[in-house]
Chains A and B, each alone.
Chain A
Amino acid sequence: GSADQKVKSKLKNPFLKVEDRRCRYRPFYLQLSSFPVVNYSNPRPCSPFDVEKKNAHGQKHIHNKQRNPTNSDREKRPNQVPPKHKRRKGYCECCMKKYEDLHAHIESEQHQKFAKSSQYQVVDDIISKFSCDFLELRENTPNVKRRKCNV
């Protein structure tokens, strides 16, 4: 590379730079406003690296949900997990494709084709070795009558 084309920039302190010792890959780095410090005054069990957030009350606000530590309180806890926001982007390993909306992708023709393909034989082969020790519930009367599972 000719020198005039080269654009060089100096890293701003404090920074951290990591590179492959053989220089075959792109270095990666981080420039911080301040280097982390162990903050002993954070209340337990907060991370010593938790940064204090300015709070209206002038109080240190290190959010830490002190949840009920006792067993007796556990029943009262919310057990439900709220659903994720509907649009989830990600990558489909089956279609080898990124998607912007999980649901939309799963419904797509390409994915549906894969979903119904024989690709899952590898899973089925394992499943076929399982046994089930659960009884089948009879429809509509799930609690009372049951018979052995026979699907």
Chain B
Amino acid sequence: MRDPAGEIGWVVTVGQPTLEPLSPGVTRVLEDEKDKEEKSPLVMEAIHLDEKPPSNAENSFKKHESNKKGALTDIEKLYQAVPQLANVFRIKGKIGEGTFSSVYLAIGHLRGGREEKVALKHLIPTSHPVRIAAELQCLIIAGGQDNVMGVKYCFRKNDHVVIVMPYLEHESFSDILDSLSFEEVRNYMFNLLRALKRIHHFGIVHRDVKPSNFLYNRQLQQYALVDFGLAQGTPETKVELLKIIPSETQQRSSAYHKSPLTMGSQVTSPTSRQLVHQSATKTANKRLSSISQTQIKQGHKRKEDPDCHCVQRSVFGEKNFNVRSSAFQGRSTVKQPRIMDIPVRKLSVKKKATSVVNNGLGKKAASSTQAHLTCDCYAKDSVCTICLSRRQQVAPRAGTPGFRAPEVLTKCPNQTTAIDMWSAGIIFLSLLSGRYPFYKASDDLTALAQIMTIRGSRETIQAAKTFGKSILCSKEIPAQDLKKLCERLRGKTTNFDNSAGDVQMHPSQEFPLTVGIGNVSDSAFHASKKHIQYQKQSTHEDGGKEKKTLQKSSDPKGWDRVPNSAYDLLDKLLDLSPATRMTAKEALLHPFFRNVKQ
């Protein structure tokens, strides 16, 4: 009965499902990258694409058969590390493992006696308490609504912290990608954007938006954005603890522990670390009291979901496993929650980004003590000892390479919620093209090169200027038409359409059966007809009619009638310039979502 393999009906989907057999955790990869940079400053060798891309957080687990024994040992270890767990949960198995956490499926009994599945996220014991607290705060403040995962409870023993979350059985993105109908894709994106709107509203930059962090239950049509382990706060974030994690440490990578030489008179002021390690707790405590009030208010305000699969926010007055007497503390202080009273400032990424970028640059230039020797390598195809002797710029880059926005890849120090929108665009790109992962890169610049291949080199270079970066590319690559790109990658025209030009199928390549119905049937000799259809559709996109036309469609999955608005939205999410990139709020109002059922 302890054998978990037979019992669990779900698997945490992985970030890079094509990885096999072992994907290095982020730490290792970053270490490797660092080694490369440090050991061979002059020549950074081409990185082969067959290197496994790193994956993050709880999702980078390797999907192997076997090793139940090992997993069981992990479960035993977890019981040992946090003994309170044994009093409440039966841990069924490990369902995810990443660099910073492992996730287990467990069953507990609700007061009514009903069994409930939960996900137990065991954080790596090297996590700083403030970071742990910040993750909890994200879940408490933003979670539990609008497709953002919430938290039910939390256990701690010494450095071991386990977050209890509602369990959402979900699909593996790559498994279902092929079989999704166009309407499902629309709903998926709508719900993802709802989650992003919610967290951005609270000034949370997720930093690791990707399918494996957006749980999707196809049958129940339930969605949950998970994992705030890499989250960062915007300057006006409502998650107070995010403010006291300096952004540099956010990445948890070797990047901020570079040799003193590269660290130099870095952005990382000595005080920022001090802050975390010395005064953080104090500050946090002060701030926490107001947060907890927020919690109370929200707990009451929130519509109770009859289906308690949905997140339950804590409501005071119940037993607490960790703290005997303090469960009620703070209750008497329930008054107007300070944070919630602050009118929600609009997260106008557009305006902010530009000014912030400039400010940031100015500040750093001023604070820089190092004399900048000039050389003539700038914007030229050369590097020299002078420019290479400069310190490296440190910018947050936590996340997964294929989902990182251009400003992240180019180490722009000021990153906004717009980076999450880019990632959402990458997911959308996967959905529309039927390709996942879409970008396959093990390092930032390879990812950037791949982006340029899609979005154009000139366009990328132009956009980078707006955030203070010069990109030099040895090759000029034109931007792709997103619609053509996606349709072609989706396979609409493969083999069945000679007009598609140079589409070549490997002779021995079996035509993917799964593409089947959806794509073969809508083969493209109707290309011109379809074009007319798009136009028709877009002129009267009111619900009923649209539904009718969908039913008449030759492709039951609706892939022969992807409206142009889809590619327009995609284009706006994959805006190379963060300042003009569409926000979640704007995206939800995009014509693509007209009549989406909510």
Contact = CB atoms under 8 A, between A and B. Distances in A.
Nearest to A35: B475
B315 A131 contact: yes
Given A48-B435, A59-B508, A16 B377 contact: no
B133 A123 contact: yes
A114 B510 CA distance: 57
A80 B514 contact: no
B46 interface: yes
Given A21-B468, A38-B453, A128-B326, A47 B436 contact: yes
Contact of B126 (A35, A67, A90, A148): A90
Nearest to B81: A106
B411 interface: yes
Nearest to B159: A115
Nearest to A52: B506
A122 interface: yes
Contacts of A40: 488-489, 494, 503-504
B93 A58 contact: no
Max count, chain B CB within 10 A of own CB: residue among A14, A42, A131? A131
A115 B159 CA distance: 5
Question: Quick one: which of A74, A111, A139 has the most chain B CB within 10 A?
Answer: A74
Considering residues A6, A32, A75, A129, which has the most beta carbons from chain B within 10 angstroms of its beta carbon?
Answer: A129
A102 B126 contact: yes
Contacts of A102: 124, 126
Interface residues of A, number: 113
Contact of A122 (B130, B253, B441): B130
Contacts of B113: 135, 146
Contacts of B127: 93-94
A82 B66 CA distance: 7
Interface string B11-45: 11000011010000101100100000100001111
A94 to B, nearest CB: 6
Interface in B43-76: 43-50, 61-68, 70-71, 73-74
Contacts, number: 463
B143 interface: no
Contacts of B129: 94, 119-123
Contacts of A31: 43-46
Contacts of B90: 137, 142
A58 B507 CA distance: 11
Given A75-B9, A89-B31, A18 B469 contact: yes
B510 to A, nearest CB: 8
Nearest to B177: A45
Given A16-B472, A30-B449, A23 B372 contact: yes
A21 B462 CA distance: 12
B111 A28 contact: no
B27 A126 contact: no
A20 B474 contact: no
Contacts of B508: 58-60
Contact of A63 (B18, B44, B65, B116): B18
A80 B71 contact: yes
B468 A27 contact: no
Given A79-B5, A93-B127, A122-B280, A44 B66 contact: no
B382 to A, nearest CB: 5
User: Which label, helix, strand, loop or mixed, suits the secondary structure of the A interface?
Assistant: loop
Given A128-B323, A131-B318, A135-B110, A82 B126 contact: no
Contact of B384 (A9, A79, A129): A9
Interface in A66-119: 66-69, 71, 74-75, 77-84, 88-96, 98-99, 102, 105-106, 111-112, 114-116, 118-119
Contact of A123 (B68, B156, B514): B156
Given A83-B73, A122-B129, A130-B153, A8 B383 contact: yes
B4 interface: yes
Given A38-B453, A38-B485, A148-B111, A92 B381 contact: no
B391 A68 contact: no
B46 A30 contact: yes
Contacts of A120: 129, 156, 158-159
A132 B446 contact: no
B593 interface: no
B126 to A, nearest CB: 4
Contact of B27 (A28, A89, A149): A89
Contact of B273 (A8, A29, A47, A96): A96
Contacts of A37: 453
B126 A96 contact: no
Contact of B381 (A6, A15, A24): A15
Interface stretch (B168-176, B416-424, B554-562): B168-176
Nearest to A126: B136
B445 interface: yes
A7 B128 CA distance: 43
Interface stretch (B195-203, B361-369, B523-531, B573-581): B361-369
A36 B281 CA distance: 47
B445 A79 contact: no
Interface string B153-172: 11110110100000000001
A75 B67 CA distance: 17
A14 to B, nearest CB: 4
A22 B126 contact: no
Contacts of B284: 122, 125
Contacts of A130: 151-154, 314, 320
Contacts of A118: 281
B473 interface: yes
Contacts of B42: 9
Given A82-B64, A123-B129, A150-B319, A16 B440 contact: no
A150 B89 CA distance: 14
B521 interface: no
Contacts of B377: 8, 27
20 contacts: A8-B375, A10-B382, A17-B473, A18-B469, A26-B389, A27-B377, A27-B383, A28-B392, A35-B449, A41-B506, A45-B435, A64-B18, A66-B514, A79-B11, A93-B276, A112-B158, A132-B321, A148-B319, A151-B84, A151-B322
Given A1-B373, A74-B9, A120-B158, 6 more contacts: A1-B385, A45-B177, A48-B435, A67-B172, A122-B129, A126-B133
Cβ-closest 7 pairs across A and B: A131-B318, A115-B159, A30-B445, A93-B128, A82-B67, A25-B393, A92-B126
